[in-house]
């Protein structure tokens, strides 16, 4: 943790807290709470003040502490590694967790960076879903989200929240957690659990490591360096509505109220990514359909949302493989190639069954029409590609400028 970053992130968090309070006041903020326990109601209804340095510091200790898991073998940082943009460790396909670290997770661990501007899940005026935490937005805040991994049997595997609190009470810095939350040692379990959740959120919201803005892209924005020719070509393709069209979802300019581009609009789309072959032996009848379930449970009637997952930020994307919600694609070059060739060369991505390409094979047939067809998609096999191999390489070169820690 680095105290110097605190001041700059205070304003962003203050704005986010005020906005999410407004969303909740308008009735839009309470839909995504499938995993929430009763104690979350209070957590979600209160706008959050800027985190104190003390909460950030104790949240830092908690995030790195394997004693938080039931078997004492897994910390938040195990799946959210700082050197990888707080995403999966190098070479990990889908995260392993559980009491014996032998349970494979369903989804790739996303980056935890640059989430301060993310709001609670809601539908906008046009009925489009946006915001929320996890790939399907079912947690309204990072504090609410934190209970998920602690209780998931394939992650930190506590049987219930009483077991989590009992463990927290044994930590050598428990007194520090109480003091950061202005609690007495006699505080009831519900308050201790809330303090744990808020400290984990404070750490992610207030520590500079989660929003450093030190990429080459930022240095170019600040006029300190220039892109090379290939990176500049990549950015032009990224922004062009006729070619990559990437910026229509992965915003390359700051939205209203933001000071920097976040490379996501926090919206939801179905890209039809292929099934992860490493889980091919798993139940063939099981489909992870994002917003419409089955992990998320409150939108199961909305079949038009099946297959839709949250647009992730592309900041640090060169570090955060494997790619897409199911980790189906290992390298960044392949992830970008998927956009270029999904429709003109589907056999490259999907199995051929009885001579027919089983396109969008990670979705039941009934919902495959939800899959996005706008540029760079929407071509027929044999049509000239919107993105050449050179374009893909230029896009990758540009995406590499989004890695933090750039030294001119
Ligand atoms: C076993 C690996 C694992 C562990 C341990 C783990 N996570 Fe995660 N994390 C994930 C996965 C996988 C997801 C995506 C979950 C989903 O979409 O349902 C995720 C999602 C998240 C998100 C949502 C990010 C976003 O873009 O919306 C946050 C925040 C988060 N984790 C924080 C934590 C914290 C805090 C801890 C410790 C209490 C933790 N994680 C422990 C694997 C893990
Ligand atoms: C219609 C909206 C949309 C457009 C256009 C779009 N993306 Fe995405 N992008 C998404 C969504 C949604 C995901 C997550 C999908 C999933 O995991 O199922 C994603 C995921 C990604 C990922 C994987 C990130 C990760 O952390 O796993 C990369 C890389 C990426 N996009 C790059 C691009 C590039 C390059 C372009 C332009 C050629 C582009 N995207 C255009 C919506 C879009």
Residue located via tokens 């303090």: 195
Q: How many CA atoms lie within 13 A of 396 on its CB side?
A: 19
Distance from residue 101's CA to the centre of ligand 1 (Å): 16
pLDDT (average), residues 95-114: 89
**Poorest-pLDDT segment among 6-10, 144-148, 151-155, 338-342:** 6-10
**Is ligand 1 within 6 A of the CB of residue 98?**
no
pLDDT (average), residues 83-88: 93
- Please name which ligand lies nearest the alpha carbon of 249: 2
**Poorest-pLDDT segment among 29-33, 67-71, 369-373:** 29-33
**Is ligand 1 within 6 A of the CB of residue 155?**
yes
- Please name which ligand lies nearest the alpha carbon of 150: 1
Task: Assess whether pLDDT exceeds 90 at residue 24.
Answer: no
Measure the CA–CA gap between 56 and 59, rounded to whole angstroms: 5
> In ligand 2, which atom is closest to the CA atom of 320?
26
> In ligand 1, which atom is closest to the CA atom of 132?
27
Task: Assess whether pLDDT exceeds 90 at residue 27.
Answer: no
Task: Assess whether pLDDT exceeds 60 at residue 226.
Answer: yes
**Is ligand 2 within 6 A of the CB of residue 245?**
yes
**Is ligand 1 within 6 A of the CB of residue 112?**
yes
Distance from residue 349's CA to the centre of ligand 2 (Å): 16
108 falls in which pLDDT band (50, 70, 90)? Answer: very high
Residues in the chain: 408
**Poorest-pLDDT segment among 33-37, 243-247, 293-297, 371-375:** 33-37
Of 210, 27, 48, residue with least CA distance to 143: 48
Measure the CA–CA gap between 290 and 295, rounded to whole angstroms: 7
Average predicted confidence (pLDDT) for the chain: 88
19 falls in which pLDDT band (50, 70, 90)? Answer: very low
Q: Is 64 exposed, middle or buried, given 0-12, 13-18 or 19+ CB atoms closer than 10 A?
A: middle
Contact (CB, 8 A) for 305 and 290? yes
94 falls in which pLDDT band (50, 70, 90)? Answer: confident
Of 377, 55, 18, residue with least CA distance to 206: 55
- Cβ-Cβ contacts under 8 Å for 284 (sequence gap 6 or more): none
**Is ligand 2 within 6 A of the CB of residue 131?**
no
pLDDT (average), residues 6-26: 32
Share of the chain above pLDDT 90, in %: 78
Structure tokens, 147: 């209970």
Share of the chain above pLDDT 70, in %: 87
Question: Which of 227 and 36 is assigned the larger pLDDT?
Answer: 227
**Is ligand 1 within 6 A of the CB of residue 327?**
no
Q: What is the pLDDT of residue 219?
A: 98
> In ligand 1, which atom is closest to the CA atom of 142?
29
259-277 residue pLDDT tens: 999 999 999 999 999 999 8
Q: What is the pLDDT of residue 101?
A: 86
Q: What is the pLDDT of residue 90?
A: 72
**Is ligand 1 within 6 A of the CB of residue 206?**
no
pLDDT (average), residues 110-138: 96
**Is ligand 1 within 6 A of the CB of residue 134?**
yes
Contact (CB, 8 A) for 81 and 91? no
281 falls in which pLDDT band (50, 70, 90)? Answer: low
pLDDT (average), residues 340-359: 96
Question: Which of 133 and 94 is assigned the larger pLDDT?
Answer: 133
Distance from residue 320's CA to the centre of ligand 1 (Å): 14
156-206 residue pLDDT tens: 999 999 999 999 999 999 999 999 999 999 999 999 999 999 999 999 999
Distance from residue 274's CA to the centre of ligand 2 (Å): 13
279 falls in which pLDDT band (50, 70, 90)? Answer: low
Structure tokens, 86: 């707080």
């Amino acid at each position: 943790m680095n105290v110097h970053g605190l001041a700059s992130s205070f304003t962003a968090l203050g704005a986010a807290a005020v906005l999410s309070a407004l969303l909740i006041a308008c009735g839009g903020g309470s839909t995504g709470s499938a995993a929430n326990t009763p104690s979350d109601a209070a957590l979600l209804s209160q706008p959050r003040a800027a985190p104190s340095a003390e909460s950030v510091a104790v949240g830092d200790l908690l995030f790195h502490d394997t004693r938080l898991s039931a078997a004492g073998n897994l910390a938040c940082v195990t799946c959210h590694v700082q050197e990888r943009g707080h995403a999966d460790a190098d070479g990990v396909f889908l995260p392993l967790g559980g009491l014996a670290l032998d349970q494979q997770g369903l989804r790739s661990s996303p980056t935890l960076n640059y989430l301060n501007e993310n709001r609670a899940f809601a539908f906008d005026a046009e009925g489009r879903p946006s915001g929320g935490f996890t790939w399907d937005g079912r947690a309204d805040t990072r504090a609410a989200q934190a209970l998920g991994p602690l209780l998931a049997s394939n992650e930190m595997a506590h049987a219930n929240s009483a077991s989590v609190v009992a463990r927290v009470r044994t930590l050598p810095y428990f007194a520090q957690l109480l003091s950061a939350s202005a609690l007495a040692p006699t505080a009831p379990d519900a308050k201790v659990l809330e303090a744990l959740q808020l400290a984990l959120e404070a750490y992610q919201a207030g520590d500079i490591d989660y929003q450093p803005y030190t990429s080459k892209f930022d240095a170019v924005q600040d006029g300190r360096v220039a892109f090379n020719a290939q990176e500049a070509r990549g950015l032009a393709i990224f922004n062009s509505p006729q070619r990559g069209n990437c910026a229509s979802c992965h915003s390359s300019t700051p939205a209203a109220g933001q000071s920097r581009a976040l490379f996501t609009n926090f919206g939801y789309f179905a890209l039809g990514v292929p099934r992860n072959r490493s889980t091919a032996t798993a139940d063939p009848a099981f489909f992870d359909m994002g917003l419409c379930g089955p992990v998320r449970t409150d939108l199961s009637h909305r079949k038009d949302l099946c297959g839709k997952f949250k647009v992730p930020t592309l900041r640090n994307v060169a570090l955060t493989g494997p790619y897409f919600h199911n980790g189906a694609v290992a390298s960044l070059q392949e992830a970008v190639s998927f956009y270029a060739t999904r429709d003109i060369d589907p056999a490259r991505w999907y199995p051929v069954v009885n001579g027919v390409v089983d396109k969008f094979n990670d979705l039941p047939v009934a919902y495959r029409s939800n899959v996005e067809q706008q540029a760079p998609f929407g071509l027929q096999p044999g049509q000239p590609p919107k993105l050449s191999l050179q374009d893909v390489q230029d896009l990758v070169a540009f995406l590499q400028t989004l890695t933090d820690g750039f030294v001119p």
